[in-house]
Amino acid sequence: MDKISLVIPCYNEEQALPFLYEELVRVSAKMNQQTFEFIFINDGSRDKTLDIVKELRRKDKRVRFVSFSRNFGKEAAILAGLKASEGDYVAMIDADLQDPPALLSEMYIAIKEESYDCIATRRDDRKGEPIIRSFFARQFYKMMNRISDTKLVDGARDFRLMTRQMVNAIIDMPEYNRFSKGIFQWVGFNTKWISYENIERVAGETKWSFWGLFFYSLEGVVAFSTRPLAIASLFGLLFFLISLVMITVIITKTLIWGDPVAGYPSTICIIFFIGGIQLFCLGILGQYISRTYLETKHRPLFVIKETEQE
């Protein structure tokens, strides 16, 4: 009998949890050939999420939980859940029912019978999402796939069912700056994609602001591509070549026509322009150095305050 672990990161999800649990009970009743464990990761919620989870645990021993000492972010919650999981197959699922648990049986059959290592999901539209956000998300995927060897799938969700072998590979990735979408791709294995229509969250509200997403995408770029560093060097080379041409031109001009002092506006423009490019490139460098700095500290990715007692 196969055991399936469901990893559910929760941050202030008191409103969504009852709906989710109800759905999980329904799905697990249908999949009666498999056993389940529902691992709720309380990511430092400030509402009643932990109380609700504990209450569920009292009624249902399949419910397990890990509670963080503060909010560490969804990436940390996913990792904690994967580490805590004991099942032969593990699925990550959002607490807000944007990942329909009903798909699990289909995913399980596919992984079992078609011998995939992973069944991943994507949404084939971005219905109900702000237009600007969709636009930038699309640009991000386009750019990422151009500059990184790790190809990301547009609209990919974190909702996926994986074999124990793949889960172990993910847990073994020691990096501090975790960008899961990239990590899932990076470890390889046979992945089957299934898609479904975008579903809006059942209750509560999204934890992502526009800028939150923006910095998260930067995380992805720096974690899975060093191309920006090459671009910075290219700028350097380009300006060096331009300067060679300019030096030649200016020296020749001075020798022929002398040196009437003028050209304040052009000088200022050039200073601003080159100065801007330099700061931009320094910024790129800074991004990589700061990540290196964080990695070398070897801080734990999360601190657990409490787990379920036997």
Residues that bind ligand UDP (CB under 6 A): 9-11, 13, 43, 71, 73-74, 77, 94-96, 98, 201, 206-208
Beta bridge partners of residue 65, listed in sequence order: 40
Of the candidates 133, 201, 227, 291, which one interacts with Mg ion according to CB under 5 A? 201
Among 13, 37, 43, 96, binds Mg ion (CB under 5 A): 96
β-pair partners for 194 = 121
Which does residue 152 bind out of ligand UDP, Mg ion, none, counting CB within 5 to 8 angstroms by kind?
A: none
What are the two backbone dihedrals, phi and then psi, of residue 104, each rounded to the nearest 5 degrees?
-55, -40
State both tokens at 212.
């939150």
Rounded distance, CA 151 to CA 165, Å? 21
Does residue 177 interact with Mg ion by CB under 5 A? no
Nearer to ligand UDP, 98 or 177 (CB): 98
Whose Cβ is closer to Mg ion: residue 198's or residue 278's?
198
Residue 95 binding partner per list ligand UDP, Mg ion, none, with a CB distance cut-off of 5 to 8 Å that depends on partner kind: ligand UDP
| Helices vs strands, H then E, count in the chain | 10, 8
Cβ contacts of 261 within 8 Å, gap of 6 or more: none
Neighbour-count burial of 186, counting CB atoms closer than 10 A to its CB (0-12 exposed, 13-18 middle, 19+ buried): middle
Between 156 and 166, CB nearer to ligand UDP: 156
Query: Given the complex with Mg ion, which of 63 and 93 has the nearer CB atom?
Result: 93
Nearer to ligand UDP, 95 or 187 (CB): 95
Distance of closest approach, residue 221 Cβ to ligand UDP, in angstroms: 18
Q: Is 122 in the site for Mg ion (CB under 5 A)?
A: no
Choose between 6 and 232: whose C-beta lies nearer to ligand UDP.
6
In angstroms, what CA-CA distances link 37 with 85, 119, 120, 135, 199? 8, 19, 20, 38, 24
Q: How far is CA 182 from the centre of its chain?
A: 7
User: Binding residues for Mg ion, how many (CB under 5 A)?
Assistant: 4
Q: 44-83 mask for Mg ion (x: CB under 5 A)?
A: ----------------------------------------
C-alpha 85/C-alpha 162 separation (Å) is 12
Q: Phi, psi (5° rounding) for residue 194?
A: -120, 145
39 binds, among ligand UDP, Mg ion, none (CB under 5 to 8 A by kind): none
Per DSSP (E only), the strands in 178-290 are 191-196
Q: Which residues bind Mg ion (CB under 5 A)?
A: 94, 96, 98, 201
